Structure 1
Amino acid sequence: MTIRTTVWGENVHEQTNEIVRSIYPDGMHATIASAIAADPTVAVSTVTLQDPEHGLTEEKLAATDVLVWWGHQAHGEVDDAVVERVARRVFEGMGLIVLHSGHFSKIFKRLMGTPCALKWREAGERERLWVINRNHPIAAGLPEYFELENEEMYGEPFSVPEPMETVFVSWFQGGEVFRSGLCYKRGAGNVFYFRPGHETYPTYHDPNVRRVLLNAVKWAYNPAAAWIGIHDAPNVPTETAPEKIEERGPKLHAPGEAGYR
């Protein structure tokens, strides 16, 4: 089994901000990818916003089992056609992991169908992430809690749909709390949101964060073949019904005619 993983990075702050560049000299996407590549069963590649079609061509997505997404400043620069392309692949079974400020990315908002808004404060305060779902695969190998000495605060309410499972809850030095690890299913695809990762702090160098990234990729992976037919809405002929029936009453569509969309 090889999990084909693509890490998508906005790659803007690394080019414009000296602090971010000093922490992530090869780009945040490269550091995130290195955590996932630590497992030999995962094959990792990276693409960025600046690549043609943001690196997310039809061919690239077809060859991706799990997509990891980090974005912040340039959400609006992501082409809507690419967003729909990614959403389609998630519905078909591709896993998606959305990190930190990606809560406001077009793809996450598209899949959640809600504002995905929250409170925030950039004060470099301590974050304590409590593992509240001890037996969840994403929490494998983690202690009861772990701390990040400097992080951006995110606070409730977080206007997302109720998740299937919550893995982490964060407490911040200023007193706020936040649901920091949320699991969803969209179509055939597994979606995980993981909160930490502000670009001016070395979050993605932290061993526990890196373990979460790898665990999340393995959890999001769906070994089944892509469910291409999930988008279809066929007009099923009467004669092919599992039980014999006779048509009765008026109808809008001729046999085999496509429905309205």
Structure 2
Amino acid sequence: MIEINQLSKKYKGAEDFSVLDLTLTVNDGEIFGLLGPNGAGKTTLISMLSSLVKPTSGSFTINELNYKENKLELKKLIGIVPQEYALYPSLTAYENLSYFGSMYGLKGATLKKEIKDHLETLGLSKFANKRVETFSGGMKRRVNLIASILHNPKVLFLDEPTVGVDVQSKNVIIDHLKQLNKNGTTMIYTSHHLNEAEDFCTRVAIIDQGSIVVKGKPTDLISQQQDARNLEEVFLAITGKALRDYA
């Protein structure tokens, strides 16, 4: 589904590459986890694959579409759940979803049904006509997710989709994502919740300083790392325990 070949990105004025010569294949129907410390290049990689940021060098295809020649067609195939809320706070949940759905070409009864079904599934039906600025963090995360999947994308990019939410909201979000995956959506997922990633992802790659250090099934990576009991211990063994604060 996704073929990445020696993809690199160096931002203007930066001393180092954010992503460097990264090569990766993501198969159709996978939930592929991108794990790494702060500043490792996860968001930059997703931004390039979403055509939001232009690569410095290298190439990639999604569903055999080249981003240079088929950018518009490629964008129609994907959905993006950004790390920050991408919602208009003064609009209601329904107004936000109606707006974003229309941008994907949905309209009329089809759009109304998609919004109604997703609001119901994610427990937001009774809040449909409430302004988003009144919502809790977990509710905003759920609306943020719905906005990215109304058009039934073939590939869904998830940049920390459960950060800062309560346990109940997290479970609802993860269960809904698993159902979407069963229905055929390929997912690229980043998170600092390594226990969640261990359970959620079919394969993961640990990225550090813009490059893939190791990749594979979570169970395989745990068994290959001496004395590791879970994915978090694998992660710390590979990336170290030093703080990764950056500005």
Structure with larger RCO (C-alpha < 8 A, sep 6+):
2
The structure richer in helix per residue is 2
The structure richer in strand per residue is 1
Q: TM-score, normalised by structure 2?
A: 0.31
Q: TM-score, normalised by structure 1?
A: 0.30
Please identify the structure whose Cα radius of gyration is greater: 1
